[in-house]
Chains A and B, each alone.
Chain A
Amino acid sequence: MAKTKLKVSAIKDGTVIDHIHTENLFKVINILGLDKIKNQVTFGMNLESKKIGGKAIIKISNKFFEQEEINKIAMLAPNANLNVIRDYEVVEKKIVEIPDQIVGIAKCFNPKCISNFEHMDSMFTVVSKNPLEVKCHYCEKINTKEQLIIK
């Protein structure tokens, strides 16, 4: 496959996460723990995209994600897709799916929820995927996508 100018250099083996909204790039990096790993990571932001407007892209060398790990970014980057790269070629495409439970990454909007006071993981059960609505495991309040705060 002929490649013209790549704005973010190609990787030999690893994963490319595409179609992230630029403003969520650093949160995605944080949630996937990419700021702590030793692998080579390159990213670009404010790239042109017909699908979402200013998009961001992340390329991680020699890193392959489990579906469960990927789903953690579902709230931030529902349109993201992952290309698994082997020897410069895309060998598999993965789509982000909203998990049934969201643990640790979001903050309950209820100011009186215990999860906002103790050193503990927040936990939500997804009650509706579209539009996204989750129920706090602790205070039992329904959080809409707009109300949920990503840590």
Chain B
Amino acid sequence: MKKDLISIMDFNRDEYMRIMELAADFEKNPNQNLLEGKVVASLFFEPSTRTRLSFETAISRMGGRIVGFTDSSSSSVTKGETLHDTIRMVNNYADLIVMRHPLEGSARYASEVADIPVINAGDGANQHPTQTLLDMYSMLKTQGTLDNLNIFLVGDLKYGRTVHSLLMAMSQFENPIFNFIAPPELAMPIEYKKYLDSKGIRYFEHTEFTDIISEADIVYMTRVQKERFADPIEYEKVKNVYILRNSMLKNTKENMKILHPLPRVNEIHVDVDASPKAYYFTQALNGMYTREAIIAHTLGLK
């Protein structure tokens, strides 16, 4: 049976650890000719420069060739072709599909249409599993373990798919503690809190972003997006409340690291960038190793 990566919960703890192991191997030696003679379809039905460059660099460093498109205006989608037909066609040509699509569930559907493996590079607001795996790799690298971590999630916890996937994935490890910091309008949805309750995992909710991060091993920042607010006045009220500044790092733990899926706007002040606790740019680089690992794993090359 072919192996896809559509949703973070498609993998279990052992597979997460296997990906981490492979990512560490690719970090030591990023150029491995495992994809020689193989063609990877990179189908970006909506633009995402960051994710696409990370994937395409990973493929290139593995010696693979890339076909595809960078947004749907340069594909047959503009002629009214269904996703089904695009995938059937690409299935004839390539050995692997990496796809980004604005509709939720599109990657799952594509994986059912295709005979070749599909890696989801983001399907609307639903899933972006390679982001979650690179977040986990960044945590493992900086903390030495994925067990017993105190993880602070800050910003838009209602709509942010990265925080939801991270919460689900980290719940598979031993004894995590979650702290949620968000305005009430963007609080963590009830279904995720119920999930943590069902697993007996501790979590705490805060609306103020103050010096409570002193307990944190990981501070995971996200963007509070203006378009999420029905009332622009509400946005103006909160937009400057959830900003991380260097002065707030004073009492934090030695091992603490700040992560962010990027792009950031103003939620991490530039004065944090020089801190050894700022990890977000290295986190992006870890993405490339993690994607090499995911490609190798789905194609069974390692």
Contact = CB atoms under 8 A, between A and B. Distances in A.
Given A119-B82, A139-B105, A140-B126, 16 more contacts: A112-B124, A113-B103, A113-B104, A114-B104, A114-B105, A115-B105, A117-B83, A118-B84, A136-B105, A138-B104, A138-B105, A139-B124, A140-B7, A140-B104, A140-B127, A141-B104
Interface-centre pick from A112, A114, A138, A139 (highest chain B CB count, 10 A): A114
A139 B103 CA distance: 8
Contacts of A110: 104
Interface string B235-252: 000000000000000000
Contacts of A134: none
Contacts of A37: none
Contact of B103 (A117, A136, A137, A140): A117
Given A120-B84, A140-B126, A112 B104 contact: yes
Interface in A100-151: 110, 112-115, 117-120, 136-142
Interface string B103-123: 111101100000000000001
A65 to B, nearest CB: 29
A114 B83 CA distance: 9
A110 B102 CA distance: 13
B4 to A, nearest CB: 14
Nearest to B124: A112
B262 interface: no
Interface in A7-32: none
B6 to A, nearest CB: 10
A12 to B, nearest CB: 45
B231 interface: no
Interface in B71-106: 82-84, 101-106
A74 B2 CA distance: 35
Contacts, number: 50
Contacts of A115: 105, 109
Q: Of residues B7, B103, B106, B123, which shows the largest number of chain A Cβ atoms within 10 Å of its Cβ?
A: B103
Interface in B157-191: 191
A-B CB proximity, top 5 nearest: A138-B105, A139-B104, A139-B105, A114-B105, A114-B106
Contacts of B124: 112, 139
Nearest to B104: A139
Given A119-B82, A119-B84, A140-B127, A113 B191 contact: no
B109 A118 contact: yes
Nearest to B105: A138
A114 B103 contact: yes
Contacts of B106: 114, 138
B125 interface: yes
A89 B125 CA distance: 55
Given A112-B124, A112-B125, A140 B105 contact: yes
Contacts of A119: 82, 84
B160 to A, nearest CB: 15
Contact of B108 (A112, A117, A137): A137
A109 to B, nearest CB: 12
Contacts of B7: 140
Contacts of A140: 7, 104-105, 126-127
Contacts of A112: 102-104, 124-125
Interface in A55-100: none
14 contacts: A112-B104, A114-B83, A114-B103, A114-B108, A114-B123, A115-B109, A119-B84, A120-B109, A138-B106, A139-B104, A139-B105, A139-B126, A140-B126, A141-B104
Contacts of B82: 118-119
A110 B101 CA distance: 16
Contacts of B123: 114, 139
A5 B173 CA distance: 67
B84 A113 contact: no
Given A136-B105, A139-B104, A141-B104, A118 B126 contact: no
Nearest to B110: A114
B166 to A, nearest CB: 15
Contacts of A114: 83, 101, 103-106, 108-109, 123
Contacts of B103: 112-114, 117
